DNA sequence: TTGAAAGCGTTACCAA
DNA sequence: TTGGTAACGCTTTCAA
C-alpha cells in the first residue's frame, strides 16, 4: 500500500502538500493540486485511517450500542443509521449489550476518542453515572428511541401511542379491551409501561372502567402469549379487543386466538405497536412508529455534531400513526352496551 | 486520558517495559510487572487502539459485509458473530451492501489493514476479481453462508434442504406439492435455486411428475405472495402442500391461504425454510438451518486465523433439520392417489 | 504556496 | 530484565 510519502515523491512535492490536497486546503495552487490528484489516483492511494486518526486524535468510527440486535425494531433503526452513514466516511461499529455492566463498559468504549468519534445509543436508558461519563467526554452521543437527559436524540410519545391504539378500538365500538404487555428488558428499558398509561388514559376518556383481569404482562414468547391470551377468554366477560404492546406480542396473541378456534378480527380485534415489515405481510393493524427514520435522524444528528454544527440539535419527537389493516373490526356482539 | 508514557513515569520504568507488561511478555520481572499493573489500574489506563494499530500495522476491527441487514436471518447470524467476538478485543464494523459496486468497494475496505484486521462475508457471493483481491491481501476473510472459492467458511447444503422440506410433505402423503420461491437478490445470491433443485429431486425420487404450474417465484412481499399463492388454488388440481423457499415467504403464503378462507394445515400444508424465531411463534413447520451458530462459527474461524492458527481451517457444512410444527399434516382428500 | 519537521501513542529492536 | 529510540503514516505548525 502506498503512503502519503510515496505520493509526495511521485508528485515531486512534500507530504505536507499532499496532506493539504487530501484535506481540501485552499492553500494549494491549482496546478500542484491536479498533479497530486493525478498521482493519487494513479497509485490508488488511500490515506491510512489509523495514522490519520492518531494524528487527529480520533477515529472515524461511530459506535452504536444496541440491546439484542436481533430484535426486528433495532434492526430497522440500524438500517436507517447505515443508510445515512453511507457516504459520510464514517464506519459503524456495532456493540451489543445484554446487561447493565456491559452497557457501562460499552458506553465507556464509545466515548474514547481512540475507539469512536461519536456514539449512538439505541433503545437504551442510562444511569446518571453513565450520562456524566458521556457529557464529560464531550463527544457527540445521540439517543435513538429513548430520552436520555442531557443528550440530543429522538424518541416517540409512548403514552400517546398506547392511547391511539386503544382509541382505535374504542372508536370501533369495543368496550371490553385487554392489554397484553411486554416485560422490561434486562436493561430496564420498558416502553410498554408508558403505552399502558396511554391505554388507561384512553379508557378513562371513554368512561370505561379499568379491569385488572384484562391486563396481562409477560415475555413475548409463544407459550406465554398463549397462556396470557388464553386466560383472557376464560373470563366471564372476555375482551372483544386486545391492545398488544408490540407487533411481536400481537403475533403471539393472534396465534393464541387462532389456536383456540377463534378468528381475528371476527371474534376479537388485535392492535400491535411498531409496524414491523411483517405486520404489513400479516395484515396487522398497528401503531406505526418511524423505526427506519429514527435511525436516519439519529445518524444525521451525530454527523451534524461531528461537523461542528452544535446548533439546532435537540430532542425531537417522532410522529405516530395508526395503520388500520385487517385485524381490527367492530365487535360482533352487543358488548359495546356493557361498558357504556 | 493517560498514555503509556504517563504510566511509565508513574511506575518509574521505561515505556518499553509498560508495553511488555501490556502484551504479556515473559521478559518482565514479577515485581516490575505488579508495580506497572498497579499504576495501570490506578490511572485507569487503556492503550490507544489507534496508536497500537498504527504501530502494529493493523486495526482491531473485524469488518462484516452483509446484504440487507434487516433480514431476520442476517441478524441472527450477526448475533452469533457478536456473541463470539465478545471478549476477544476485536470490534465489529458493520458494512451494508446493496449492489455489486458497493460490494466490491466494501471488500476492498475490509482487506485494508488500516481499516480491518479481518473480514466476514455474510450471505454473499464474490466475483473472481474480488476473490483475487482478498487472497492477495493475505488477510483472514471467512464466508458465512455461501461458499466462496478459496475462502474458509461455513454454509449449508441447500439442495438437501429443499429435498428435506419436500420429502416431509411427501412422507405425509402429499403428491401435489407446489414450490414458492424467492427471487435472486441484487447481488446474485440465491439459495432458493438450489432448494428448488432439492424439491425437484425429491419429487423425482417419489416418481411424482414435476408440474410447471405448481412452481411460482416472486419477491416475498405480501401482495405478491397473495397473487403467487392465489393462482395456485385456481388450478384444476390445486396443491395440498406448499414448499416455501424461506420462512418469510411461508408467512406470506399462509396469510394468502387464510385470506382465501382456507385453513393451514387442514386445507393445505406449508413448509418454510430457516426457522426464524417467529416460525416458532407461529407454529410453522420448517427446515431449520443454524443461523446463530453460523455466526459463532464464522467468528471463531476468523479469530483462529488472527491467532495464527491457519490449520484446521476449512469449509464446513452446517446440519439441517426439519422442525415439524403445526402447519403440516396429511392431505385431507384422496389426492395422494393422483400422483402415485 | 510550499517544504521541513514535530508530534500523535504505540511496538519492537538494540544495547546495556 | 531493562531503557532508549526508531518507526508506523498522517496532520499541522513554522519558516521560507
> What's the CATH architecture for B4-47?
Orthogonal Bundle (1.10)
Asked if A114 lies within 8 A of B82 by C-beta distance, the reply is no
Domain B61-155+291-318 and domain B158-289+323-338 have a common topology:
yes
pLDDT at residue B219, as a whole number: 77
By C1' distance from the Cα of B20, the closest nucleotide is C11
Beta bridge partners of B100: none
Of the residues B47, B49, B284, the best mutation for testing chain A's interface (the one with the most A CB atoms within 10 Å of its CB) is B49
SS3 A185: coil
Chain B partners within 8 Å of A1 (Cβ): 112-114
Distance B119 CA to C8 C1' (A): 28
Chain B partners within 8 Å of A92 (Cβ): 93-94
Q: Within 7 Å: CB of B86 and strand D?
A: no
Answer for the pair B8, B18: CB distance below 8 angstroms, yes or no: yes
Domain residue spans of chain B: 4-47, 61-155+291-318, 158-289+323-338
Q: Which CATH code of 2.40.50.140, 1.10.357.140, 3.40.50.2300, 3.40.50.300 fits the domain covering B158-289+323-338?
A: 3.40.50.2300
pLDDT tens track, chain A, 340 positions:
999 999 999 999 999 999 999 999 999 999 999 999 999 999 999 999 999 999 999 999 999 999 988 888 999 999 999 999 998 999 999 999 988 889 999 999 999 999 999 999 999 999 999 999 999 999 999 999 989 999 999 999 999 999 999 999 999 999 999 999 988 888 888 899 999 999 999 999 999 999 999 999 887 666 677 778 888 999 999 999 999 999 988 988 988 888 888 989 999 999 999 999 889 888 899 999 999 999 999 999 999 999 887 665 789 999 999 999 999 999 986 444 443 3
Nucleotides of C under 7 A from a protein CB: 1-5, 7-14
Q: Which of A188, A184, A207, A202 is nearest to A271 (CA)?
A: A202
Chain A partners within 8 Å of B278 (Cβ): 248, 251, 278
Q: Within 7 Å: CB of A13 and strand C?
A: yes
Q: Which residues contact B296 (CB under 8 A, 6 or more apart)?
A: B80, B81, B83, B84
Scan for cell 391505554, then name that residue: A199
| Domain at B61-155+291-318: CATH code | 3.40.50.2300
Q: Within 7 Å: CB of B55 and strand D?
A: yes
Of the residues B48, B70, B138, B180, the best mutation for testing chain A's interface (the one with the most A CB atoms within 10 Å of its CB) is B70
Question: C-alpha cell of A90?
Answer: 464514517
pLDDT at residue A68, as a whole number: 85
pLDDT at residue B337, as a whole number: 43
Q: DSSP H helical segments within chain A, as ranges?
A: 4-11, 15-22, 30-43, 49-56, 72-85, 100-110, 128-137, 158-172, 191-205, 222-233, 247-259, 277-282, 291-306, 335-339
Distance from CA of B312 to the nearest CA of A (A): 29
Asked if A51 lies within 8 A of B280 by C-beta distance, the reply is no
Digit-coded pLDDT (tens) for B60-82: 999 999 998 888 899 999 999 99
Q: Does the structure show a pLDDT above 70 at B334? A: no
d(CA A170, CA B167): 48
Scan for cell 454527523, then name that residue: A303
d(CA B336, CA B340): 7
Report pTM: 0.93
Q: Please report which helix (H) or strand (E) contains residue B96, including its range.
A: strand B91-97
Distance B287 CA to C13 C1' (A): 57
Residue B220 pLDDT grade (very low, low, confident, very high; cuts 50, 70, 90): low
d(CA A263, CA A233): 13
Amino acid at each position: 500500500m502506498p503512503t502519503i510519502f510515496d505520493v509526495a515523491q511521485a508528485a515531486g512535492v512534500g507530504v505536507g502538500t499532499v496532506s493539504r490536497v487530501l484535506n481540501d486546503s485552499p492553500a494549494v495552487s491549482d496546478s500542484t493540486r491536479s498533479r497530486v490528484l493525478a498521482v493519487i489516483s494513479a497509485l490508488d492511494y488511500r490515506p491510512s485511517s489509523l495514522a490519520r486518526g492518531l494524528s487527529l486524535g480520533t477515529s472515524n468510527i461511530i459506535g452504536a450500542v444496541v440491546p439484542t440486535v436481533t430484535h426486528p425494531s433495532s434492526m430497522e433503526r440500524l438500517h436507517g443509521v447505515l443508510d445515512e452513514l453511507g457516504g459520510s466516511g464514517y464506519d459503524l461499529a456495532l456493540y451489543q449489550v445484554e446487561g447493565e455492566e456491559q452497557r457501562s463498559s460499552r458506553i465507556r468504549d464509545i466515548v474514547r476518542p481512540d475507539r469512536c468519534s461519536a456514539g449512538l445509543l439505541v433503545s437504551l436508558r442510562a444511569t446518571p453515572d453513565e450520562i456524566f461519563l458521556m457529557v464529560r467526554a464531550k463527544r457527540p452521543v445521540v439517543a435513538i428511541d429513548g430520552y436520555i437527559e442531557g443528550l440530543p436524540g429522538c424518541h416517540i410519545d409512548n403514552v400517546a401511542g398506547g392511547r391511539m391504539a386503544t382509541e382505535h378500538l374504542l372508536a370501533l365500538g369495543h368496550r371490553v379491551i385487554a392489554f397484553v404487555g411486554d416485560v422490561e428488558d434486562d436493561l430496564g428499558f420498558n416502553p410498554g409501561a408508558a403505552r399502558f398509561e396511554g391505554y388507561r388514559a384512553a379508557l378513562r376518556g371513554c368512561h370505561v372502567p379499568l379491569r385488572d383481569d384484562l391486563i396481562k404482562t409477560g415475555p413475548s414468547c409463544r407459550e406465554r402469549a398463549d397462556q396470557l391470551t388464553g386466560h383472557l377468554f376464560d373470563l366471564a366477560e372476555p375482551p372483544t379487543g386486545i391492545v398488544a404492546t408490540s407487533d411481536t406480542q400481537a403475533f403471539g396473541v393472534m396465534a393464541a386466538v387462532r389456536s383456540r378456534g377463534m378468528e381475528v378480527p371476527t371474534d376479537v380485534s388485535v392492535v400491535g405497536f411498531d409496524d414491523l415489515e411483517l405486520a404489513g405481510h400479516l395484515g396487522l393493524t398497528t401503531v406505526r412508529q418511524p423505526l427506519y427514520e429514527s435511525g436516519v435522524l439519529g445518524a444525521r444528528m451525530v454527523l451534524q455534531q461531528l461537523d461542528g454544527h452544535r446548533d439546532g440539535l435537540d430532542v425531537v419527537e417522532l410522529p405516530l400513526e395508526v395503520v388500520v389493516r385487517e385485524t381490527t373490526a367492530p365487535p360482533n356482539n352487543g358488548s359495546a352496551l356493557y361498558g357504556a
